[in-house]
């Protein structure tokens, strides 16, 4: 189970995805922890069993136990936050934005890894989940921490490709039944 196995499963009509998957992971300029945490968090967020099954072992091998747990935590907390904050943002009644959230989010304050790494993973998950408010919030934190736009873009490129690979392979699995 590996990146190569996942790439070989991608059908010919989605050759661009195969090439992009190899590129965004194999040629990424991100440090290993940022890269593999982003891969793991977005594989979880993609909701694709195939993608998660193939990428998780390689991510786990490239992350410390703390980073592995933190990447999973980023996917979990952002699954909640992206729905909550996206809904607040989309409602035409802006009074909801003044109400106390009342949701526990302690992991954001103490993720067990470098805060920038956790923010990057949260940002990438937010890209998949489509929460503009969360994207803006995490992007601002990342930029204030000194990350350049190219680095931030690396995270959402990974998210985009992993999401597309998951959608394609899950569709192929259904069509093969």
As a whole number of angstroms, the distance between CA 114 and CA 107 comes to 12
Confidence of residue 170 (pLDDT cuts 50, 70, 90): very high
Catalytic residue flag (residue 73): no
Catalytic position from the list 67, 128, 131, 147: 131
Do the beta carbons of residue 43 and residue 169 sit within 8 Å? no
Do the beta carbons of residue 120 and residue 141 sit within 8 Å? no
As a whole number of angstroms, the distance between CA 104 and CA 148 comes to 30
Catalytic position from the list 134, 147, 155, 162: 134
Q: What is the pLDDT of residue 97?
A: 92
Confidence of residue 2 (pLDDT cuts 50, 70, 90): confident
Name 88's Cβ contacts closer than 8 Å, sequence gap at least 6. 96, 97, 133
Do the beta carbons of residue 112 and residue 70 sit within 8 Å? yes
Residue 149, pLDDT above cutoff 70: yes
User: Mean pLDDT over all residues of the chain?
Assistant: 96
pLDDT in tens, 92-128: 999 999 999 999 999 999 999 999 999 999 999 999 9
Q: How many CB atoms lie within 10 A of CB 108?
A: 17
Residue 156, pLDDT above cutoff 70: yes
Q: What is the rounded average pLDDT of the residues 81-88?
A: 96
DSSP letter for each residue of the chain: --HHHHHHHS-GGGHHHHHHHHHHHHT--S-HHHHHHHHHHHHHHTT-HHHHHHHHHHHHHHS-HHHHHHHHHHHHHHHHHHHHHHHHHH-S-GGGGGS------HHHH--SS-HHHHHHHHHHHHHHHT-HHHHHHHHHHHHHTT--HHHHHHHHHHHHHHHHHHHHHHHHHHHH-
pLDDT in tens, 11-59: 999 999 999 999 999 999 999 999 999 999 999 999 999 999 999 999 9
Catalytic residue flag (residue 80): no
Residue 1, pLDDT above cutoff 90: no
Confidence of residue 143 (pLDDT cuts 50, 70, 90): very high
Residue 162, pLDDT above cutoff 90: yes
- CA 156 to chain CA centroid, nearest Å: 8
């Amino acid at each position: 189970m590996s990146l190569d196995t996942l790439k070989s499963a991608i059908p010919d009509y989605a050759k661009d995805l195969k090439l992009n998957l190899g590129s965004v992971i194999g040629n990424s300029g991100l440090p290993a922890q940022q890269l593999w945490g982003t891969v793991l968090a977005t594989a979880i967020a993609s909701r694709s069993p195939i993608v998660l099954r193939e990428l998780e072992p390689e991510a786990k091998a490239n992350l410390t136990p703390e980073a592995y747990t933190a990447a999973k935590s980023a996917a979990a907390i952002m699954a909640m936050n992206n729905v909550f904050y996206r809904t607040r943002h989309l409602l035409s009644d802006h009074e909801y934005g003044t109400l106390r959230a009342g949701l526990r989010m302690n992991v954001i304050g103490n993720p067990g890894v470098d805060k920038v790494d956790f923010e990057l993973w949260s940002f990438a998950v937010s890209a998949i989940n489509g929460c503009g408010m969360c994207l803006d919030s995490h992007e601002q934190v990342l930029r204030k921490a000194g990350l350049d736009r190219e680095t931030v873009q690396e995270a959402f490129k990974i998210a985009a490709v992993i999401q597309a690979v998951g959608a394609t392979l899950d569709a192929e699995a259904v069509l093969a039944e």
